[in-house]
Amino acid sequence: MIDGQRFARMVTDAVVRRPLLWRLFRRPLRRMFDGLAPTWETRIGPHHLFALDLALEGVQPPERILDLGTGTGVVAIALAERYPETDVLGVDISPGMIGEARRKLPQELASRVRFEVGDASALPYPGGRFALVVLSNMIPFFDELARVVAPGGTLVLSSSRGAETPIYVAPVVLREELGRRGFAEFAEFSAEPATALRAKRG
C-alpha cells in the first residue's frame, strides 16, 4: 500500500499536469489529512516558516490575506502576527485540520483571523479579493490563483522541506504556469531546508 507522503507527491504531480484529475483525488486526500490533523504540528517543525518569512520581507501590509492549505493555522497565525492590521482567512479542504486551527487560534487574534473548509480549485470568493495569497506545502490551482489574487497583488508558495516536501512543485513549473497567467517579478528564496517562490500579479 502506498504511504501518505508518496501518495501526496503522486497526487501533486498528477493534478499539476492535469487539473481535472483533482476530482478523483480530492476525497482520499481530504481523508488522509483529516487523519493527520491531531498530530500535524509534530510533523512540520519550526523550519516550516523559514523561507516564507524571507519571501515576505518587503511585502507591504495588505488589507486581506488568503492562506490556502492552512492546515492547523500555523501560517495564518504567523501572518496575522506579522501584519497586525490585516484580516487573514485560512482555507483547507480538511475539516479535521480546520477544527484544529479554530481550537488553537489565540483569542487576541480571533477578530482578524478566521478559518473555513474549502476547495482551492473552486473558491467562493470574488475575483481579485486578496492582495496577498500564501500557499505552504499546497497543490497550486493556477487558474484559481490568477482569479483571486488582486491586480498588483503578491503570491507566495513555500515548501517547508524544499524538493523533499511531499506536496512540491518545482520552481521552473511554477514560473511557467504562473507566467502564462499574468504573474511576473519572480523571486526565489531558500532557508535550509525550506524554499519559497514569490510572484506579483500584473
Domain that holds residue 35: 4-201
Per residue in 90-115, pLDDT (tens digit) is 999 999 999 999 999 999 999 999 99
Q: What is the percentage of the chain residues whose pLDDT exceeds 90? A: 90
User: What's the rounded mean pLDDT across residues 47-69?
Assistant: 93
User: What's the rounded mean pLDDT across residues 171-179?
Assistant: 98
Per residue in 59-95, pLDDT (tens digit) is 999 999 999 999 999 999 999 999 999 999 999 999 9
Of 41, 96, 25, 97, whose CA–CA distance to 67 is shortest? 97
* Predicted local confidence at residue 62, as pLDDT: 95
Higher-confidence position of 5 and 94:
94
H helix runs in 22-163, sequence order: 22-36, 41-44, 50-56, 74-82, 95-104, 142-148
Q: Which residue has the cell 507566495?
A: 156
Which distant-in-sequence residues (6+ apart) come within 8 Å of 181 by Cβ? 142, 143, 145, 146
* Predicted local confidence at residue 127, as pLDDT: 96
User: What's the rounded mean pLDDT across residues 132-136?
Assistant: 97
In the predicted model, is pLDDT for residue 1 greater than 60? no
Q: The CATH number of the domain where 68 resides is what?
A: 3.40.50.150
User: What's the rounded mean pLDDT across residues 134-148?
Assistant: 97
In the predicted model, is pLDDT for residue 151 greater than 50? yes
User: What's the rounded mean pLDDT across residues 52-56?
Assistant: 96
Per residue in 22-46, pLDDT (tens digit) is 999 999 999 999 998 988 777 766 7
Of 194, 162, 164, 173, whose CA–CA distance to 15 is shortest? 173
| Number of separate domains in the chain | 1
* Predicted local confidence at residue 119, as pLDDT: 97
Element (H, E) at 135: strand 130-136
Identity of the amino acid at 48: H
